[in-house]
Amino acid sequence: MNKSTITLLFSIFCLNAFSQKTYNILNYGAKSGSNFINTAAIQQAIDAATSHGGGRVIVPAGYFITAPLNLKSDVELHLNNDAILLGSAKRLDYPDNQMSVIYAQNQQNIAITGNGIIDGQGRDLVENTLMLLRQGKIQDEQWLLKRPTEKNRPFVVYFKNCQHVKVTGITLKNAACWVQTYSECDDVTIDSIKVQSTAYWNNDGIDIVDSKNVKITNSYFNAADDAICLKSENPQGSCENIWIENCIARSSASGFKIGTGSLGGFKNIKVSNLTVFDTYRSAIALETVDGAYLQDIDIRHVIGKNVGNALFIRLGHRNQDNRYSTLRNVLINDVKVEVPFGKPDIGYPLEGPPPKIPPHNLITSSITGLPGHPVQNVTLQNIEISYGGGAKKEVAYISIDDLASVPENATGYPEFTMFGELPAWGMYIRHAEGIKLNNVKLSYAQDDYRPSIIADDTNGLILQNVTIPASKSTAVIVLNNVTGETIDKVSLPVSNKNGILTQKK
């Protein structure tokens, strides 16, 4: 019997266990309304279910305020239609070791289901936190410089080291911090959920941290930070066997991101049928900057509408030790993205912050490693990216004779604006090997003086069936210190002989 069959049988067993008995929170003293805290009543129902071998805890229609709840093994928390679970808006109701509305650690066979809502009341909660900080009743080392740290801003859902987790159907709203985090978990199913969380900063829609065997399907995310994000915060941990399919993402940061936290590793990640819209940063961002390996990534069928950047692939060295990240074996296939001239998330409650860099023109997609530590084996296939264009030398200018002036910024926070102005408008590649662009079309709406593609310090570049219908620059493609290149069926607005400029040291 293989692992998949065992997992399926276990899931069927879990469903049967859940259906054995129900525990309505009203029977344990819960009351709907704005003046009653239901923590004790709901927790009693959860404890009763787990003590009797498991069952379904019912949250009926109504408003139920609660401080943190411990979800325990073999318990399904089910929110009926029109049920709203409101997290307490008082910071002191959240113990420092339990900073979330729903919390579970070291549990098995747990679920949150139904069509109800869990609302973290993030804006009111942060206002209460700020009041307590001003009064000196709680402490935080960053709040006067930027905002309260994560230790003072609760999540809506936080599961750590749990196995056989299911979250389906529900709506999660208004977190004060990351909406939901699944850390060091195994066998997680997220399906048909809705996230609506623009109440405060650092509102990642979902974070998968050092977890394995995770499915995220048929879900919608609208977040003030990254919409769907994978992280590795343990040097011995990793995200592995992650499947994301049929999701929609809106973000004031990036739509789908691997990183920024990247201590351990990422392996065997598959994304399919993803729509990203009105997103301030990148539709797709793959980042490893803290020593992690990032490999075997398969991303297909992505549509990006009104986003700040299409593709950002970055290997950096932010960590202080001698470990270097690796980034290899990436396939991105069937992607169509529109990058406008202007800020894509204007009008949303919390817009992405202006980049802390000098004035710059519209910034291109990029694949960048470090000297001696290249990004390896990346294929971009069936890609269409349209840009707003409109670059002006009066705003910023990097000559193709001075490509070394683009900063390495090895330790910088990874985001597509981290280099400031880039000398290409369509694709910038540096410190890479085994990069293939096959059936790629790059276009712009307004003239741009820069070359469309620049590859610098790259070995084994393949340009095949690349189409660039218009270019104001005579040098449409610039190959600087590129070796082992293959150029086949490239269509340029000028002759290939004149449009491809090769420069060597």
Average the pLDDT over 59-76 and give the result.
98
Q: Summarize the confidence of residues 178-186 as an average pLDDT.
A: 98
- The one-letter code for the residue type at 112 is I
Could you tell me which of 193, 245, 261, 244 has the C-alpha nearest to residue 223? 193
Residue 371 pLDDT > 50: yes
Share of the chain above pLDDT 70, in %: 96
The confidence band for 2, taking pLDDT boundaries of 50, 70 and 90, is low
**pLDDT tens digits for 299-325?**
999 999 999 999 999 999 999 999 999
Q: Tell me which of 494 and 406 has the higher pLDDT.
A: 406
How confident is the model over 332-336, as a mean pLDDT? 98
DSSP string, 39-62: HHHHHHHHHHHHHTT-EEEEE-SE
Report yes or no: 68 and 47 within 8 Å, Cβ to Cβ: no
What is the per-residue pLDDT across 352-369, written as a single tens digit (0 to 9) for each?
988 889 999 999 999 999
The answer to whether 251 and 229 are in contact (CB under 8 A) is no
Nearest-angstrom CA–CA distance, 196 and 173: 5
pLDDT of the residue at 13:
46
Residue 502 · residue 479 · CB < 8 Å: yes
pLDDT at 436: 98
How many other C-beta atoms are found inside a 10 Å radius of the C-beta of residue 265? 22
Q: Is the pLDDT of residue 6 over 60?
A: no
Residue 106, pLDDT above cutoff 60:
yes
pTM value is: 0.94
Predicted local distance difference test score (pLDDT) of residue 35: 86
Q: How many helices (H) and strands (E) does the chain have?
A: 4, 31
For the segment 222-234, what is each residue's pLDDT rounded down to a tens digit?
999 999 999 999 9
